[in-house]
Structure 1
Amino acid sequence: MDAIGIPPQGFRGRKLLIITYYWPPAGGPGVQRWLKFVKYLPEYGVEPVVYIPENPTYPLLDEGLLAEVRPDVTIIRQKITEPYAWASMFSKGSTKKISSGIIPNNKKQSLIQRMLLWVRGNLFIPDARVLWVKPSVAYLSKYVQENGIDTIITTGPPHSLHLIGLRLQEKLSIKWLADFRDPWTTIGYHKELKLSASAEAKHKALEKQVLTSADAVIVTSPTTKKEFEALTQKPIHVITNGYDVEKVQKQPLDEKFTLAHIGSFLSERNPNILWEALAELIRENEAFRDAFQLKLIGAVSQEVLRSISEAGLDGYVNSLGYVPHETAIVEQRKSQVLLLVEIDSPDTQCIIPGKLFEYMVSERPIVAIGPEGADFAAIIRSTNTGVFLTYSEKEKLKQILFGYFEEYQKGTLRSHPIGLQQYSRKNLTGELVKVL
């Protein structure tokens, strides 16, 4: 067996075409996975060529990520027709939220939001970037043949990019791998798209066609692998997201007992047991009340903010909004405790948030709340980086938070991680090349 991070030599010197929608200056978690793979692929003798849209509509921007793009990487672009650009004429705010995954609770959706969701789910299948498929296939068919491309990887969401790989494979008989950063028909927001029966059937048919046609499938969690194994006999490989070496100057910890959440705080991730536990600790303990601060970094839904307010926590919130990735890393490493929340649903057991791995190397303890059987719970436990609780464990949550607070008072609060190297971006790139 090869040593960790040292792949076989069979793919060295070959060109790999990566078809992705998210690329700097896009912000958010979707851009990180392939930005980092591209960073390390040349160290394994693989030449990446990245295909991206020329004129994308990104809901989040982070210009700082442009500095992380290898200067020697080949990047090719083609124009994309973006329905989100048209939709913004009706409601720019609603369009931006929906395109970034922030979907209001069904009972609180406006008429325009309901209309946008119906159009998104029923007219643009599998997603709003499907109009990029046909022109991309036309352009890339010629490019692949003229430039000695050996293998294609498509990464989704948006899952319409997998249709580009499917069509290229049909035309050119080229090796194609489909990378799923998230599931397709079982992703958390899929049921919010107000799908007709025929639209739902088309989504599932396309999903199965991609899974059974790709030469191999890459997923980010064991649960997604198990789900896809019911649909295809093709090999499925789990390659999680990971952490990279961040050149961030060490900062003193926050003076307050900060509980920090980094990233989008969606309506469905509203942990009422946490707000209740914090409100009770504030009422019961004067020292906790004087020291506590809830730090929110990233877009936060109105439903979450309303729940925080109803729990009487408004005065304890420090909301920084969306910040560049480098700033987010600094803030998380300054925080006393890091909060990770996933939707309480069987559909989200497979979700391993990308920020988990950056959390793990921050040396700050993690408090994670999610569904029973969540894949990321096993990672937290095996790496000794924090605690995982379900939505029914409020009293245990209170005990853990107060225990961390007592360590904070003593000046001894930190995590003691083990076995993190397997999740380094460089090592994971080695695992990818083994699959290639």
Structure 2
Amino acid sequence: MYKALIFAYYFPPKGLSGVQRTTKFVKYLPDFNWSPTVITTGDIAYFAHDHSLLEDLKNENIRVVRVSGKEINSILKKKGTIKMPREIFRKLFAYVSAWLNITDNKRSWARQAYKEAKRLCSEEKFDVIFVSGPPFSSFEAAIRISEEFKLPVFVDYRDLWYGNQFAIYPTPWHRISTKKEEDAALRKVDKIVVTNRRVKERMMKNYPFLTHKKMLIIPHGYDAQDVAAAAPGAKKLTKKMVITYSGIFYEFITPKYFLKAFKQILKENPEVAVNIELHFIGFLRIENRRLIRRYNLQNFVVEHNYMEHLEALKKVMASDLLWFMVGKGRNADTISSSKMYEYFGTLKPVLACLPDGALRSHLEDYGASYISDPYDVKTIKSNILKAYEDYASGRQPVPDEEFVQKFDRRLLTGQLATEFQFFLKVH
């Protein structure tokens, strides 16, 4: 088999959304005659751990090598799974970290990953290097190995680097330095993988030397094996319509406008509201629970806390309507969430509160969707009422299954493997 060396800070047993994309590439690469070796973190403190994801890695052709840095997560590793802080404290830490670090605060881990990669490449032959960001500081390590061992390097953007929707630039110097760092990195890579066309267009505008040939779009997706495994355990425990949100709230991703819309339904259409349950899978912060109490919706909300991936998917599949939200932050049109594509895999109707952008475009093509502006309470309310009417009458919209199949994780990994093969011939 051919060999791929992969840098991935976010990787099982860590949980949450940043882990899924690289994990599924690694899971399916052996199907296409590629054996991945993943350099990832050792034990670290993190908000969620999902040991069930390690099942995806039980293949004799997959190897995982763990190294530790001196970033805050590694320093606090004995804490294990830590409580997610209130949003005000998370923002404060992010601001302090932005002052002290250009790009991100994972550079010490990247240095250790580089040393381990150098040892591995000195002992055996690899055919390609793949690195996924964020954290983008790991790009430098992968590029150094690429240059020293004459290997093609693929950089995978799960989000923008410069102009990232959550990035903080305390001074113009921080902003300019970040862009310069990305510019230098992009001039040295062989292929740039992005999740959607909006990211590609934004990067080509920021860095005019980039060409279409150098860019590759591979969207997020869903794992058909996971959907098949979860289906038998997806049991609905109520006769009410279940609306489910899976994930966490932070920055401009908030339940505020959805809850406000439902409060209006409770006031104006109580006969509808009493037949709906609002399920939340993930972490509700103190401020989220305060909103629920402010609108007096405690009797309508079912909180499931964080669940391992397959268990969460069972809850999602037992739902009648899946809710998704992205607010209007910087470059929000480029955001591409793996959660939405997993929603696609369930073939369930989706209630989406989104700005114009890549996600909204795909939801329109999906077909089974009720879409509104993220802050348009009136339309959100109307969409919930319409979704309930469709549910009660047995006329829920049906998605375009041919469109959905384009996002199968195994198919997407095949596209990546094909690009790897091309660079084998070139080099």
What secondary structure does 1:47 align onto? strand
Equivalenced residues, count: 409
Q: CA deviation at 1:33?
A: 0.9
Tell me how far apart the structure 2 counterparts of residues 237 and 113 of structure 1 sit (CA, whole Å): 33
Tell me how far apart the structure 1 counterparts of residues 67 and 283 of structure 2 sit (CA, whole Å): 30
Deviation string 1:415-435 (CA, Å, 9 cap, x unpaired) is 333321111011101111222
Q: CA deviation at 1:409?
A: 2.3
Q: Which residue of 2 aligns with 1:216?
A: 191
Unpaired runs of at least 5, structure 1 = 1-12
Tell me how far apart the structure 2 counterparts of residues 155 and 382 of structure 1 sit (CA, whole Å): 27
Q: State whether structure 2 residue 360 is matched by structure 1 residue 381.
A: no
TM-score between the two structures when normalised by the length of structure 2: 0.88
Evaluate the alpha carbon distance shift between residue 346 and residue 118 of structure 1 in structure 2; reply closer, same or farther with a 3 A threshold.
closer
Q: Which residue of 2 aligns with 1:10?
A: none
Opposite residue 425 of structure 1, the aligned amino acid is R
What secondary structure does 1:361 align onto? helix
Q: Which residue of 2 aligns with 1:29?
A: 17
RMSD: 2.5
Q: Which residue of 2 aligns with 1:117?
A: 94
Check the 8 A contact 2:352/2:371 in 1, yes or no.
yes
Q: Which residue of 2 aligns with 1:196?
A: 171
Q: Which stretch has the larger CA shift, 247-256 or 340-349?
A: 247-256
What secondary structure does 2:38 align onto? strand
What secondary structure does 1:213 align onto? coil
Check the 8 A contact 1:129/1:160 in 2, yes or no.
yes
Partner of residue 237 from structure 1, selected from 216, 231, 241:
216
Opposite residue 244 of structure 1, the aligned amino acid is D
Q: State whether structure 2 residue 329 is matched by structure 1 residue 352.
A: no
Q: Which residue of 1 aligns with 2:71?
A: 82
Unpaired runs of at least 5, structure 2 = 421-427
Q: Which residue of 2 aligns with 1:6?
A: none
Deviation string 1:169-218 (CA, Å, 9 cap, x unpaired) is 33233211110111113222213xx6233333222211222222211110
Q: State whether structure 2 residue 134 is matched by structure 1 residue 151.
A: no
Q: Which residue of 2 aligns with 1:364?
A: 348
Tell me how far apart the structure 2 counterparts of residues 328 and 345 of structure 1 sit (CA, whole Å): 27
Evaluate the alpha carbon distance shift between residue 427 and residue 113 of structure 1 in structure 2; reply closer, same or farther with a 3 A threshold.
closer
Opposite residue 21 of structure 2, the aligned amino acid is R
Opposite residue 163 of structure 1, the aligned amino acid is E
Check the 8 A contact 2:39/2:113 in 1, yes or no.
no
What secondary structure does 1:153 align onto? strand
Q: Which residue of 2 aligns with 1:310?
A: 294
Deviation string 1:230-279 (CA, Å, 9 cap, x unpaired) is 21425111101101122111534342222110011224212543222211
Opposite residue 206 of structure 1, the aligned amino acid is E
Q: CA deviation at 1:412?
A: 4.3
Opposite residue 375 of structure 1, the aligned amino acid is A
Tell me how far apart the structure 1 counterparts of residues 77 and 37 of structure 2 sit (CA, whole Å): 32
Q: CA deviation at 1:366?
A: 0.2
What secondary structure does 2:103 align onto? coil
Instruction: Give 1:392-411 correspondences, 5 Å limit.
Output: 393-411=376-394
Partner of residue 156 from structure 2, selected from 174, 179, 186:
179
What secondary structure does 1:349 align onto? helix
Deviation string 1:95-140 (CA, Å, 9 cap, x unpaired) is 8647xxxx72xxxx35x963x3344112233222100222322331
Tell me how far apart the structure 2 counterparts of residues 84 and 38 of structure 1 sit (CA, whole Å): 24
Check the 8 A contact 2:165/2:330 in 1, yes or no.
no
Tell me how far apart the structure 1 counterparts of residues 96 and 151 of structure 2 sit (CA, whole Å): 34
Q: Which residue of 2 aligns with 1:169?
A: 146
Opposite residue 67 of structure 2, the aligned amino acid is Q
Q: Which residue of 2 aligns with 1:270?
A: 254
Evaluate the alpha carbon distance shift between residue 87 and residue 327 of structure 1 in structure 2; reply closer, same or farther with a 3 A threshold.
closer
Q: Which residue of 2 aligns with 1:69?
A: 57
Instruction: Give 1:247-262 correspondences, 5 Å limit.
Output: 247-248=229-230, 249-253=232-236, 254-262=238-246
